[in-house]
Structures are given as C-alpha cells and as structure tokens.
Amino acid sequence: MRRDRPNAPFYYYDTSNCTKDTGIVKSYHKANSGAGYATIRQRVNAELAQLAASGQRSIRLALTFTDQYDNAGDSTTIGINGGVDPLTGAPVAPGQLSTTHVNNLKNLIGDVKSHGFEYTTLGFFWIANGPFQQEIDAGRLERYKSMLAQVVVAALSADSGVIFDLANESFPFPAGIAGSPESSALHDRLRRFVPPVWNHFLGACASTGRTSKTCLRQSVGFSLILSDRTDAWKITGAHLDAMYGSQSWPGSMEIHLYDTGQDIGNPRYVLDRFGEALIGLGSRGTDLELVIGEAFYNDELIAMDVRAALEQDFPNRISRLLHWQTQRDPTICGGDIHGFPSNFSEYSNQGF
C-alpha cells in the first residue's frame, strides 16, 4: 500500500454554531471575510500548505448540484437549470457552467497540484432534486450530463491526473435484495441513472484525447457506502456489467467505510464481508483497486482494522484512504468536527 496521507473535502464547522464553512469553488475569486488573508484563494492555499506539510498527499473536492444556481451565502451549488454567474451576474443557460465556476475550479485544482498532492478526486454531490429524491427526467439528465462533461474537460486541463466520482454514494444495488435499508424505488432510479451518466463520462474523457483505458483509470465510477449494508455484499459481476458495461468497469472502486448500526465498533467485519463479495466476482473482483474515500475522521479503530485486514487475507489492494469530517461522537455538531480537519495521525500511525 502506498503511504498516501489523504484528507477530507474543504469544509469544516464553526465551533459556536455548527455552521459549515463552504463555498470554495464559487468563492475562490472573492476577498476573504476573516482576518489573516486578503482573498479566499490565499486562505485555501495556506491550508493546502498545512495539509502538505503534515504529509497528506491526496484530497477529495466536492461539487454540489441541484436545480438552480445558489449564489446566496457560502453555498457552492451548481444549478443544472441555469442561473447567473456569481461574479459577473451574467445569465447562465441550462446545462452550462458559469465562466466563474470554470475558472475557479481550474485555479483550485491547479493550486492543489502545485502543493504536491498526488491524487485529486472530484466528487459530484446531488444535494436536492437529484436521483436520491426523485426520478431524473430526460431533459434534466441531459443537462446534468452536459455539465458533467464541462467539469471533466475543465478539470483535466488543470491536472491531467484528476479522478472523478460521478455521483457520491450512488452506486445502486442489484434488484431483489430483501431488507435493503433504501427503498427499491430509489435503487430503481439509480439503476436507470448510472449507465447513461457513465457512458457520457467516458465520451467526455475521450474528447480530451485520452484512450479508453486511461479514461477507465480516471474514475471510480459511482462511490458505494459500506456500513451495516449487507446488500453491498451481494454485488455480482452481472450487475457491474449492467451498470458499467462488460468491458468498461472503472479502474478502481471507491467505498465509504463506516461501522454503524448493528456493526458499530466493528469496521473489520464490514470490510471483510465486502472482501468476500469481491472474491465471489473472481479475478475481475479481486483485481479491482479499492479506494476508501470516506471513513470516520482520524479514527483509531478504522485505521487499525484496515491495517490488520491488509496484513492478513483481504483480497484487494487499497491504494489510499481518506477520512470525512465526522467523528464517532454524534453529540457535537452531529458528529462533525470543529476546526480545520488537518489531523491524520491515527491513520498515518498505521502507514496510510
């Protein structure tokens, strides 16, 4: 395993009122409202330097999507139905990224690269009116695909190694699994959503001159959450073929590892059961590189259990591990941490 020391996306919580400090992509050009830095870009670069100095070499950045551009407060929401440019006020057509979002995204990704980060993952998050909430009709799907393609082209022009998660925690489970914690209607929607978005990503990536093999390596597809999710252990090769195509699985799979529910305090059990599912796929399953894209923040138990699994008989290579700004203690800001999430010591102590 590489000794990557990744960190979570750019948001963190105010200690007094549990409000998020967000809006990086929309606000990257703005003056900084707090003390110490003239601009938000200067502040973020100081924070990137802090992360790099602590040995972290990977980062996951989140782009949030809904119907309308939200230029109020610190939201970074990108609207698939258009809106106005957050800097110029110019109208933005449906399915288009604003010029300011494009420039800020390219500048942010370029700045991340300049600090020596080896991996930048760009995650797409639906926060309202997405496939988690409702059916995505043909027109809205086309607008989302159009914006996704623009993000892919812009991001790859800033850093040729960017990796994409095309919809956070949206990989659907096979039909007919009894006892799934999500409704079958949700997974029906996701099974209709994933294949066309995946194919459109491959086309957008290929439009930059990359080979199909390279494009497969530049995405984790759609990330998958593991917790007390027995349904995740029943993924089949036929289902992966149906979602991605029999010859076009992503080069790696991103899992989000949380031991909750009946498995709380036992991340090794959750990880091992998923390993058994991958063994069931044969060599195509065990050859998949895994990325732990989220885990509890700086968590000793997960760090120790993942290390123990790798040193024993876990079948897959885990290339990197990132944590999210959520602690096990749910009594403080719903578990979300206070202050800048720079401490990675529990994971680094286990060689991550």
- Can you tell me the distance from the alpha carbon of 298 to that of 228, in angstroms, rounded to the nearest whole number? 20
Residues 131-160: pLDDT tens digits? Answer: 877 888 898 899 999 999 999 999 999 999
**Is residue 47 a contact partner of residue 59, using CB atoms and an 8 Å limit?**
no
* Average pLDDT, integer, range 162-166: 96
Tell me what pLDDT residue 150 has: 95
Q: Look at 135 and 161; give whichever has higher pLDDT.
A: 161
3-state DSSP call for residue 78? strand
**For position 34, what pLDDT does the model report?**
72
Alpha carbons 116 and 270: distance in angstroms, whole number: 33
The CATH class of the 12-348 domain is alpha beta
pLDDT for 3: 30
* Contact of 21 with 338, CB cutoff 8 Å: no
What are the tens digits of pLDDT across the range 244-255? 999 999 999 999
Domain boundaries defined on the chain:
12-348
295-350 per-position pLDDT tens digit: 988 899 999 999 999 998 888 899 899 988 788 766 666 666 556 677 888 998 99
Task: Report which residue type is found at 212.
Answer: S
Given a contact cutoff of 8 angstroms between Cβ atoms, the answer to whether 320 and 2 are in contact is: yes
**CB atoms closer than 10 angstroms to residue 30:** 15
Q: Is 290 exposed, middle or buried (0-12, 13-18, 19+ CB in 10 A)?
A: buried
Name the band, by pLDDT with cuts 50, 70 and 90, for residue 58: confident
Contact by Cβ (8 Å): 30, 93: no
Taking the model in full, what pTM does it have? 0.89
